[in-house]
A and B are shown apart, each in its own frame.
Chain A
């Protein structure tokens, strides 16, 4: 079919003003962020390195949500469910079975997040009729709220106090404790997950996700199984959230019901909204800026810092709905290109 041509000269060609080659900014941002992340522990005091590690783990959590929302177009208001389930899961492994090997607990955390997301996603996304945004949002929100309430009321899970004194994660006989070691472990895992997500969203699968996000009905009529695509990306997001939850549990040394709940689920939405969805790096920047601002403001303005932070968030969302990243990254670059136009038969 493609070889057929149409009454040639008679037809006007689409006039073309050759587009100026836009400079790509995202790779530069990625390199700068990586460089800063690599040297940060050398310029920070120890207690701040511990804080920075927590931020990296939360950035990994934000990455999971950006994959689900920024690329899959699925508004999950219950992402903390997968984070918290995995956190509790590995805390129980450590407390009850004395299993703390990094080679077991991190894959277990990932698997717990994946399984929970498959169950919730299967229920919410794989029905006979396509699920509406409201249905999925409320469904995930309800799951997160229910898990929070369940953990608070379940004695085996420590009730309101959660599970304290989780033994440290280990590699052989060596304990991985908070500080430099844990920082670079978290950074390494974040980089690997980032690169995997980047590979995925720039593949043909990423193009299908873009189609799904931009116009679900259109791609349904191309023959895409859109509900399956959604379930897959939702499950991947759950797996990454689970991994971050596992890291968090061992880094903090305790888990508590809040990490399953609605407030924490909303927090990750804010990270991504603030930084800019659909770029991956925007989610990381959002998590870092919000956590750093919270940290600094809470020390400087002890009484009113939540109000100041809230106003800042509102201002960004009102005037930069595409997030901080949109200050320097164009919409065109954010969406990206998936194929290279050129002559045929190359």
Chain B
């Protein structure tokens, strides 16, 4: 499991200790204020290449807000986000996507009226030029990749059906396939197993394992068994701040986390 970083602590750049090698993602000192509510208060998140990183914490701890700040859905009030050597703090979601950052929403966001095939094609063709789109120049070229993604997620047999015909769990897989189709460097998954059966959760874990070779993963999830099974490192948030960050074993042994989070859960 632990092919990523194995040390217990890896403070983010900007917190006084330089990382040994530049991480793929380094969100540092993130503050996000909504009116009178401070959703994030100096939170940080560091993810190494090929690492599976879990983001956990009680409801309202700021997990989804931190995820949104990384993806570009929210702009941090203060703080910085560096991705793949670039400062993307002010970049738009589209610019971040083009830089190799991909997001799966918490609420399933497949396009129900489109076929499974077209959902994947839509994700894949995002970097095609305008002329290429108008004259459908990449439709043939992308065919194998579309079918490849559907096969990888065991959906190829239903490629021609509308996404609305899928079960909730299958729609979640389709959306993960859509997020992975453009071959991102970092995939952000916000509660990917929400509403899934135990068997579907197990399968989801197995479906995610092969991406480790070329992609890092940040996952927000309430299912701690699922997180423990697939992640190398965890960051625990509480009331908008990072409570602890480290390997799964480190977090499991952390008295602070047990006190504030695990017991509460």
Listed in ascending order, the chain A residues whose CB lies under 8 Å from chain B are 1-7, 10-14, 16, 19, 200, 203-205, 207-208, 210-211, 214-215, 217-226, 228, 232, 331-332, 335, 337-346
Q: What would 4 more interface pairs be, CB under 8 Å, given A14-B158, A204-B137, A335-B162?
A: A2-B152, A205-B133, A207-B114, A210-B114
Specify which of B121, B132, B147 is in contact with A344 (CB 8 Å cutoff).
Answer: B147
| Whole-angstrom distance between the Cβ of B100 and the nearest chain A Cβ | 10
Q: Are B126 and A337 neighbours in the complex by a CB distance under 8 Å?
A: no
By CB atoms of chain A within 10 A, which of B102, B117, B160 has the most? B160
9-residue interface stretch from B19-27, B31-39, B47-55, B209-217: B209-217
Contact B115 A232 (CB under 8 A): no
Chain B residues closer than 8 Å to A16, beta-carbon distance: 157-158, 161
- Given known contacts A337-B118, A339-B143, A343-B147, A10 and B94 CB-to-CB distance under 8 angstroms: no
> Is the pair A221, B152 in contact by a Cβ cutoff of 8 Å?
no
Pair A224/B115 contact, Cβ less than 8 Å: no
Contacts of B139 in A (CB 8 A): 204, 338-339
Q: Which one of A1, A217, A337 contacts B109 once the chains associate, using CB atoms below 8 Å?
A: A217
B130 at the binding interface (Cβ < 8 Å): yes
Q: Is the CB of B126 within 8 A of A223?
A: yes
Q: A11-B154, A232-B130, A337-B160 are in contact. Are A208 and B148 (CB under 8 A)?
A: no
Contact flags B144-179 to A (C-beta < 8 A → 1, else 0) = 111111111111111111100110001001000010
A303–B148 Cα distance when bound, in Å, is 65
Residues A215 and B127 in contact, CB atoms below 8 Å apart: no
- Evaluate contact between A6 and B118: CB separation under 8 angstroms: no
| A214 to B111 alpha-carbon distance, docked (Å) | 7
Q: Do A339 and B109 touch across chains, with their CB atoms under 8 A apart?
A: no
Contact with A along B211-248 (1 / 0, CB 8 A): 10110000000000000000000000000000000000
Q: Is B252 an interface residue (CB 8 A)?
A: no
Closest to B173 in A: A14
A–B pairs, 19, beta carbons within 8 Å:
A1-B183, A14-B157, A14-B173, A16-B161, A204-B128, A204-B138, A208-B133, A210-B113, A217-B105, A222-B182, A223-B98, A225-B94, A226-B94, A331-B113, A335-B162, A339-B115, A341-B117, A342-B147, A343-B147
A224 to B75, CA, bound (A): 19
CA distance A331 to B163 in the complex (A): 13
Interfacial chain A residues near B203, Cβ < 8 Å = 10-12
Contact in complex: B93, A19 (CB < 8 Å): no
Query: Which residues in B have their C-beta under 8 angstroms from that of A338?
Result: 114, 118, 121, 139
Could you tell me if B144 and A339 are in contact, using CB atoms closer than 8 angstroms? no
Q: Which residues of A contact B137 (CB under 8 A)?
A: 204
Q: Are A211 and B111 in contact (CB under 8 A)?
A: yes
Any chain A CB within 8 A of the CB of B134? Answer: yes
Which residues on B sit within 8 Å (CB–CB) of A5? Answer: 151-152, 210
Size of chain B's interface in residues, with CB distance under 8 A?
Answer: 74
Give bound CA distance, A228 to B126, whole Å: 13
Q: Are A2 and B144 in contact (CB under 8 A)?
A: yes
Report the bound CA distance from A72 to B153 in whole Å. 31
The binding surface of chain A is classed by DSSP as loop
Of B71, B105, B136, B145, chain A has the most CB atoms within 10 Å of the CB of: B136
Q: Which residues of the other chain, B, contact A223 by a CB distance below 8 angstroms?
A: 94-95, 97-98, 126-127, 182
CA distance A26 to B46 in the complex (A): 53
- Contacting residues, chain B, for A1 (C-beta < 8 A): 148, 180, 183, 211, 214
- Closest Cβ of chain A to B204, distance in Å, is 10
Let me know if B144 and A345 touch, CB within 8 A: yes
Among B109, B123, B130, point to the contact of A205 (Cβ < 8 A). Answer: B130
Q: Which residues of B contact A200 (CB under 8 A)?
A: 134
Bound-state Cα–Cα, A38 to B57, Å:
68
B160: chain A residues at CB < 8 Å are 19, 337, 341
Q: Give chain B nearest CB distance to A6 CB in angstroms.
A: 5
Asked if B71 and A221 sit within 8 Å, CB to CB, the answer is yes
List chain B residues, Cβ under 8 A from A6: 152-154, 206-207, 209-210
Report A-chain residues with C-beta under 8 Å of the C-beta of B122: 207-208, 210-211, 219, 222
Residues of A within 8 Å of B166, CB to CB, are 14
B121 and A221: CB pair below 8 A? no
A218 touches B109 (CB 8 A): yes
Interface hits, B47-102 → A, CB 8 Å: 71-73, 92-95, 97-98, 102
Measured CB to CB, the nearest residue on chain A to B116 is A341
CA distance A224 to B95 in the complex (A): 9
Closest CB-CB distance, A45 to chain B, in whole Å?
A: 43
Chain B residues with CB below 8 A from A218, complex form: 105, 109, 111
- A residues near B161, Cβ cutoff 8 Å: 16, 19
Tell yes or no: B125 within 8 A of A by CB: yes
Most buried by A among B92, B128, B165, B203: B92
- Given the known interface contacts A204-B125, A208-B125, the answer about A4 and B143 at a Cβ–Cβ threshold of 8 Å is no
Give chain A residues whose Cβ lies under 8 Å from the Cβ of B115.
337, 339, 341
CB-CB < 8 A to A210: which residues of B? 111, 113-114, 118, 122
Tell me if B259 is interfacial: C-beta within 8 Å of chain A. Answer: no
**In the docked arrangement, what's the CA distance between A224 and B138, Å?**
15
Q: What is the 8 Å Cβ interface bit string for chain B, positions 177-198, against chain A (1 contact, 0 not)?
A: 0101011000000000000000
Specify which of B97, B136, B143, B162 is in contact with A222 (CB 8 Å cutoff): B97
Roughly how many angstroms separate A13 CA and B157 CA in the complex, as a whole number? 8
With beta carbons under 8 angstroms apart, the residue of A3, A4, A208, A221 that contacts B97 is A221
CB of B30 closer than 8 Å to a CB of A: no
Counting CB contacts under 8 A, is B103 at the interface? yes
